């Protein structure tokens, strides 16, 4: 993600606490109160400019969505979409995924989406990949029994690495496509990166895995 300096981003985020939740640790174990219902919670880690999570929230009003993004300068674009569509089932968090266990209680999340995660191709940066085993352990802490990870990328190296990482961790592979856009998969919602890379002719890889019960 190319980061543009947006000095006004912090102020804008602070002006919309109903959409980008400040101090989200205070809601650990109580996210259903924030949404005002008991619907399942699905989170996207590295939500970027928010196209995917906004369209998912529009299409699935009976699921609660939380988009998580590290950079203020990026999450403000997701905020703009949420202001425009005012979706009651979508919230945003401006946090690092490393903080997940401080923000969600055990079993509070039903599904995690990882879309076009940064590949960190150098071996010495392996621990930063969002499908590295320490992240899989973190996800296990907050997911329900048989909780799912849905993962998409155009990066073949990251995809192959992730399949191995999932398998070594003991996750069960329930869906895999090595060419999503030329498959019979129905209902795909494209992310910003997916649109960009698919337009260049890149193949899109997708899998679903679940934690054993
Ligand atoms: N998912 C979007 C898409 O497909 O268009 C954005 C993809 S972009 C390559 C990856 C995003 O993940 C960036 O916006 C980056 O800031 C965010 N990200 C990377 N590591 C993160 C972390 N540890 N916690 C939260 N967000 C992270």
Q: Are 150 and 208 in contact (CB under 8 A)?
A: yes
**pLDDT tens across 58-80, in order?**
999 999 999 999 999 999 999 99
- Check if 46 has its Cβ closer than 6 Å to any atom of ligand 1: yes
- Check if 193 has its Cβ closer than 6 Å to any atom of ligand 1: yes
ipTM: 0.99
Reply yes or no on whether the pLDDT at 4 is more than 90. no
Reply yes or no on whether the pLDDT at 207 is more than 70. yes
Reply yes or no on whether the pLDDT at 2 is more than 60. no
CA distance 170 to 211: 7
**β-pairing, 205-210 with 143-153?**
antiparallel
Supply the residues annotated as catalytic. 118
Q: What is the overall mean pLDDT for the chain?
A: 97
CB atoms near residue 56 (< 10 Å): 19
For residue 96, how far is its CA from the centre of ligand 1 (angstroms)? 10
Return the pLDDT at 139.
Answer: 98
Return the pLDDT at 89.
Answer: 98
Nearest CA residue ID for atom 17, ligand 1: 46
**pLDDT tens across 137-156, in order?**
999 999 999 999 999 999 99
**pLDDT tens across 93-133, in order?**
999 999 999 999 999 999 999 999 999 999 999 999 999 99
In terms of C-beta density within 10 A (0-12 exposed, 13-18 middle, 19 or more buried), how is residue 152 classed?
buried
In the chain, the domains with their CATH numbers are 41-210 (3.40.50.150)
Q: Which of 3, 43, 48 to mutate to test the pocket of ligand 1 (most atoms within 8 A of CB)?
A: 48
Reply yes or no on whether the pLDDT at 213 is more than 90. no
């Amino acid at each position: 993600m190319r980061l543009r300096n947006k000095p006004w981003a912090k102020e804008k985020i602070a002006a919309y606490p109903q959409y980008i939740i400040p101090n989200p640790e205070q809601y650990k174990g109580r996210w259903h109160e924030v949404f005002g219902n008991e619907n399942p919670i699905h989170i996207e880690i590295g939500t970027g400019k928010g196209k995917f999570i906004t369209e998912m929230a529009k299409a699935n009003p009976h699921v609660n969505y939380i988009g998580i993004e590290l950079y203020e300068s990026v999450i403000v674009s997701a905020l703009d979409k949420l202001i425009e569509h005012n979706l009651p089932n979508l919230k945003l968090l401006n946090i690092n995924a490393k903080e997940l266990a401080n923000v969600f209680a055990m079993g509070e999340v039903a599904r995690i989406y990882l879309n076009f995660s940064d590949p960190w191709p150098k071996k010495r940066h392996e621990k930063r990949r969002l499908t590295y085993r320490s992240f899989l352990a973190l996800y296990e802490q907050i997911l329900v029994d048989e909780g799912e990870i849905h993962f998409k990328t155009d990066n073949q190296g990251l995809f192959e690495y992730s399949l191995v990482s999932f398998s070594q961790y003991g996750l069960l592979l329930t869906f895999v496509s090595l060419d999503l856009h030329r498959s019979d998969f129905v209902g795909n919602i494209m992310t910003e990166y997916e649109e960009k890379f698919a337009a260049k002719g890149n193949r899109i890889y997708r899998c679903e895995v679940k934690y054993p019960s």
